[in-house]
Amino acid sequence: MSETNLAVFVSGGPGPGINACISSIVKNASLKGWRVFGFKRSFKSFKEDWRTDIFELKWDQVSLITRQGGSFIPCVRFNPLSDSSSKKKFEEFLEEFRISKLAIIGGDGSSNLAVGVSKNYPEVCVVVCPKTIDNDLPLSSNTPSLGFSTARNVGAQLVITMGDDARSSERWFVVTCMGRNAGFLALGVALAAEAHAVIIPEEVPSGTSLSDLVDIVKKVILARKKAGKMYGIAVIAEGVLAKTDISFLSNPPRDDLGRLVYRDLQIGKLIAEELKKDLCDMIILHKDLGFELRAAAPLAYDLEYGITLGFGAVEFLAQNRIAGVVLRDDLRLKLLSFSEILDSEGKVKTRQVDLESDAFIVAKRRMNQWVC
| Catalytic residue list | 134
> Beta partners for 15?
none
Closest CA to 35 of 45, 43, 44, 25: 25
Rounded Cα distance between 130 and 109, Å, is 11
Helical ranges in the chain per DSSP H = 18-31, 59-62, 84-96, 108-120, 148-169, 184-192, 210-226, 240-243, 267-278, 291-294, 300-318, 358-370
Closest CA to 326 of 94, 129, 145, 88: 129
Rounded Cα distance between 74 and 8, Å, is 11
Rounded Cα distance between 70 and 18, Å, is 7
Rounded Cα distance between 243 and 212, Å, is 12
